[in-house]
Every structure is written in C-alpha cells, then in structure tokens.
Amino acid sequence: MATILFLIYLALLVWIILFKLQFSISDLDKVRSINLIPFHYDKEVGAAFHLTEVLENFLIFVPMGIYLQMLLPRTKLYVKFMLIAGTSFLLETMQYILAVGRSDITDVLTNTAGGLLGLAVYSMAARLIGNRIKANRLFSILAGIVSVVVIGLLGFLLFANR
C-alpha cells in the first residue's frame, strides 16, 4: 500500500513542480533561468510571495521523508538525505532542460529541509507509538485519505476546466 501511495505522490510531485498543475503542455510558460544564490529574489516580486514559495517548497517534500522512512527502514540516514536532495536537484534540472521554470538552489535547499523534517516526523511518531508497523499503518491511512482528497480535487479541476 505504501509503495502505491509513494508512486502517486511522486507523480503528483512531478506534475506540480514540472508541469505547474497545468493540464496541457501548451499552457506552460517557456522559462529557463538558474539562480545559484540561496534566498536571492527579484525585487519586482513581493516578499510575501517568496515566503509562501519557500514554505510550499518545504512542505511538498515532507511526505517524501515520511515515505522513505516507511519504505526503506534499514537504509542509512545519509542515503535517504541523498535521495531527497537528488530528487529535488533532478526536478530543478528538468525544469531548466524543459524550459518550464526557474531552477533555483533555494528550492533544492527548502525541498531537502522538508524531506528531512519528514524523516524526523516519522521517526518521532514511530517512537511515540512504539511500533513501526503501527506507525506505517497510521501514515498509510493518512496518506490514503490525503490522496483521495487530492485526486478528487484534481478530478473536479479537470471537469471544471473542460
């Protein structure tokens, strides 16, 4: 169950980051830029927008950390860290290659921090519950509920945007 939910999460992650929630590739802006200075932003866009973007980038990777703890319980922390950072880096690189977004080191940093928080959240929950199997069941149920809600909302958006 967790593997299927993780694959759904990864598909949604790609759709959100690379395809910007668009249903048609032709609707995507053709943008290609790189920012290698952490937390450096254009002055034209307000600070509230940047704070929101940082928070969203942080939160979107929290589930990845949780899933990695569930699916790879015996894997070393540094390997999980590399999987999280590598996934974020790959998505940022693909944005540049496909010219569908601004590749930004801040995104890699905040995505990675979110994934690390997910690792910690799962570890704390498993410790509080006292059992990894029960923790996996709890997170699978929560992920299942969230997945149904998100897929339902996406279905509604597809129907509404016909």
Query: What type of residue sits at position 58?
Result: F
59-161-100 Cα angle (round to 5): 50
| pLDDT at residue 108 in the model | 98
How far is residue 19's CA from residue 75's CA, in Å, rounded to a whole number? 31
| Model pLDDT, residue 162 | 67
User: What integer is the mean pLDDT of 106-122?
Assistant: 97
The sign of the CA dihedral 118, 80, 33, 26 is: negative
Residue 139 contacts by C-beta under 8 Å, 6 or more apart in sequence?
Answer: 2, 66, 70, 122, 125
pLDDT grade for 83, boundaries at 50, 70 and 90: very high
**Given this model, what pLDDT does residue 122 score?**
96
